[in-house]
Structure 1
């Protein structure tokens, strides 16, 4: 890295110029925040970019081994920004790469204005420092972006799973659990926890479990159903199974799954008529 007060002052005076040059050459056909036509969002985008420039120019004033740490709060704010969350990572990284070309151009302008200020070795050192720093910021941003994306994805998956096991409260402390879609191990675990909690919260005494929306009942699904029914018994909730279609019944028999000790019905209506 290189420290040069004149170069630092030169760049510091042009941070807004760098931002305006960046936006003027921005590809507005990209997906996400960079294609916005809303003036408020454009102004926000420019201020975010200018904040980056204000930090970056310190590369030529206070360079040190921990220099990249000054970008931590900037990276966190961009990762948390809703507009950038809707923008592909490749496009955001592409805009970071464009920053280095803007700075290389400014170094050339500085050399033309002050031809005696920097040696050839120092010019190359500036180029290397710019590229190395941009690459470091990109790596820092990409890691945080991917980490936060994974956290949001897991949260969304958990929310979907929770919503996929809704208890619908009826009358006389009864409720129905309409199961829809495939049930994997993770969903079965969350479903058990949610069903027990909701039944306890609603003080349910009898639960109708409808399987008409479940395409396949294999050994794992059957075992999870047994676990759930047994766990419900422990908190004073009896259960009825409905929607066990002929194809599923045939499969369960072939798998050796025994539903004989469980109150089963072909339809939810039949189950409800029995337990009026």
Structure 2
């Protein structure tokens, strides 16, 4: 029998209660936060994610480290890609991880008191170390994956903005106009060049006028 199998059973029996307590004590008014949502579908998914996390976390007391670590990593990767979490400021997410962790600490303390005759001081220390370390791992993975996904979104938005800010307008026949607005640095100039050539090819433009009246500064490069 694994060293902390009794604790695993204890926490698994209470997983739904822990999740419900967490959900019932949510308090957030920021409209950008998933935790302030009033959308039934979003809330149902949020509760489902939290409960799934609880069940995966409980495995740290019943399985080998490489097994439960892989399970927690999988949960963190999936949650970090969730569009509602991607829209939520990261400090709110960290706050909720801490709240869940505090709930777990409370239940583990209760367990060690109930089993004080069999759970030694060394056992208790090992249990709390494993618990806190596991939360640290999940939080780290979640933040790292969320950062990557946020950067991907930002790059996509940047490319879209650049594309929309340099539209080729067909005047007549094969003649077009490229009105530019705002500063043009080396990076933007490169994107404008690539985007303009692509648009000219699509629209069969052979003669292009470039309007620079809205450009305050052009990078010498």
Q: Is the CA contact 1:5–1:61 (under 8 Å) kept in the aligned structure 2?
A: yes
The within-5 A match list for 1:1-276 is: 3-30=3-30, 31-65=32-66, 67-217=68-218, 219-220=220-221
Say which SS state the counterpart of residue 133 (structure 2) adopts.
Answer: helix
Q: 1:65, CA displacement in angstroms?
A: 4.3
TM-score, length basis structure 1: 0.74
> Does structure 2 retain, via aligned residues, the 8 Å contact 1:3–1:59?
no
**Bigger mean CA deviation after superposition, 65-74 or 50-59:** 65-74
Runs (4 or more) in structure 1 with deviation over 6 Å come to: none
1:216 CA drift (Å): 2.3
How far is the alpha carbon of 1:19 from its aligned partner?
Answer: 0.4
Any gaps of 5 or more consecutive residues in structure 1? 221-276
Q: Please report the RMSD computed on the Cα atoms of aligned residues, expressed in angstroms.
A: 1.7
Structure number with larger C-alpha Rg: 1
How far does residue 20 in structure 1 lie from its aligned partner after superposition?
A: 0.8
Q: What displacement does 1:162 show?
A: 1.7
Q: CA deviation at 1:76?
A: 2.1
Which whole-Å deviations, capped at 9, do the CAs of 1:99-155 have from their partners, x for residues lacking one?
Answer: 221111111222343332311211121111111110111111111111111121112
Kindly indicate whether structure 1 or structure 2 has the higher relative contact order, using CA contacts under 8 Å at least 6 residues apart.
Answer: 2
> How big is each residue's C-alpha offset from its partner over 1:231-259, in whole Å with a ceiling of 9 and x where there is no partner?
xxxxxxxxxxxxxxxxxxxxxxxxxxxxx
Contact residue 77 and residue 141 of structure 2 kept, 8 A: no
State the number of aligned residues.
219
